[in-house]
Amino acid sequence: MKLSADITNRLKQAAGPGGFSDDAQEVAAHTTEWRGRWSGKTALLLKPKTTEAVSGILAICNETLTALVPQGGNTGLVGAQVPLHGEVLLSLERMSRIRSVSASENVIIAEAGVILANVQKAAADADRLFPLSLAAEGSCTIGGNLSTNAGGVAVLRYGMTRELVLGVEVVLADGRVLNLLRSLRKDNSGYDLKQLFIGAEGTLGIITAAALKLFPRPHSYATVFAAISRADAALDLLNRLQDATGGLVTAFELVSRAGLDLVLKHIPGATDPLPKHRGWFVLAQVSNPAAFDALPALEAGLGKAMEDGLVVDAVFAKNERERKNLWLLRESLSEAQKIEGASVKHDVSVPLSRIPEFLATADKAVRDALPGARPVAFGHVGDGNIHFNIAAPPGNDAALLAARDKLESVVHEVALRLGGSVSAEHGIGIAKREALKTQKSAAELDVMRALKRTLDPNNILNPGKLLPDA
């Protein structure tokens, strides 16, 4: 896409002082996805600081049929934030103001470009918790989190991003500002328009601010790493621990021996808490409210699960250092896989009761499709979300990458057959547009396309992302 000098000048002016960049290094950091899987180019990098500036930019883009791609922290995993065809790149990074925090109403209002970790910190400073938490929290932004409906490690207790949002401020494709920035807990006044923009990956409007729910801060944590007797013991164990603790389980993560071995091989400081066990593990964490220690309840629940043969062995974190060490094992899985070599990643979900069947069936299907391939599954099992990643046959990255499409369709087919989704939390972007066709009915795709036509009739907002071609 090429921009005329006139449109370029008008856009730069609309973006306000300091609202664009020609610096090649800065532009390159925005046009390449962090892993280098997708790389694009842009006719112009815009960095507005106010909602009014975003509004002005969109009005010009709409009038001149100029496509643009919104971007937050550029940490997305499906390529949706990359301008692949020279589109204008609209970075929200300078809209980084916390507009207000109310501890009494449990609401924080943050602009789209606020880094997630800064929202967490502002909440903590007010003695509150903003529970959204993911490994990219030091770089990703609230606008990106809403636009991808991000998940992360606390979904089991607090829900996906969608459930944490009370209101949004959105600039529509034609530049009008839709002020839905209400902080009402109850509002049954017709269609819930804010939900349209959450998870829309920047295809329906630009989010400029959000009103977010806050919660009481946990007082402390009880954390355990347990070896389970078989994969299908995990769900039973989760329900027992929820019953034992009155629903206080915040995280319940599944880790395989293959994954743990990769972490032990590549991550400095990682130690094996249960070296004798070769099967599956769970990492469970309970958040203790003030003046209540859930540890005895967790210990009792786990003890009973051991007696009943669900759990083989378990290690409790005795202090903060040990808790961090246990989490290192789970949080380093992706990094360890990267160091090991090429991998093909999946972010599927299935109904909780189908997880063991999914793991067994997908494992076999992948090994049949590419002999020597090494499935390394892990995930937020309490949410039915499995990151079914596949490491290359030893020393043969090329074979894995050549088989990427085949492996993806094999894994997605198993997930869909079991009533699941091809994207649990990362979104669709460009990575899964074709897969979406296999998941959604014709009627669903029709409604999605009708919404897009209504809200963005000139198709200027992140064109070619999320929606598959008709």
Whole-angstrom distance, CA of residue 33 vs CA of residue 82: 7
Interface pattern 79-108 for ligand FAD (x via CB under 6 A)? -xx----------x----------------
Stretch touching ligand FAD by CB under 6 A, among 148-156, 249-257, 336-344, 447-455:
148-156
Rule CB under 6 A: is residue 329 a binding residue for ligand FAD? no
- The residue count for binding ligand FAD (CB under 6 A) is 33
Interface pattern 249-288 for ligand FAD (x via CB under 6 A)? ----------------------------------------
- Burial-class residue 445 by CB neighbours within 10 Å (0-12, 13-18, 19+): middle
Interface pattern 42-71 for ligand FAD (x via CB under 6 A)? ---------------------------xxx
In this structure, what are the phi and psi dihedrals at residue 140, rounded to the nearest 5 degrees?
Answer: -75, 160
Whole-angstrom distance, CA of residue 169 vs CA of residue 177: 7
Choice between 55 and 145, CB closer to ligand FAD: 145
Q: Return the SS3 of 401.
A: helix
Give 163's Cβ-side CA count (13 Å radius). Answer: 12
Whole-angstrom distance, CA of residue 459 vs CA of residue 203: 8
The tokens for 234 are 């995990």
- The single residue listed with the structure tokens 């590419």 is 370
Task: Name residues whose C-beta falls within 8 Å of residue 346's C-beta, 6 or more positions apart in sequence.
Answer: 386, 387, 388, 389, 390, 408, 411, 412, 415
Stretch touching ligand FAD by CB under 6 A, among 77-85, 177-185, 275-283, 291-299:
77-85
Interface pattern 7-46 for ligand FAD (x via CB under 6 A)? ----------------------------------------
Minimum CB–partner distance for residue 395 and ligand FAD (Å): 26
Minimum CB–partner distance for residue 139 and ligand FAD (Å): 6
Choice between 151 and 218, CB closer to ligand FAD: 151
Stretch touching ligand FAD by CB under 6 A, among 6-14, 146-154, 235-243, 311-319:
146-154
Give yes or no for a contact between 425 and 451, defined as CB atoms under 8 angstroms apart. Answer: no
Task: Name residues whose C-beta falls within 8 Å of residue 56's C-beta, 6 or more positions apart in sequence.
Answer: 14, 15, 175
Whole-angstrom distance, CA of residue 143 vs CA of residue 160: 14
Residues interacting with ligand FAD, by CB under 6 A?
A: 69-77, 80-81, 92, 112, 134-136, 140-141, 143-145, 147-148, 150-152, 201-202, 206-207, 425-426, 462
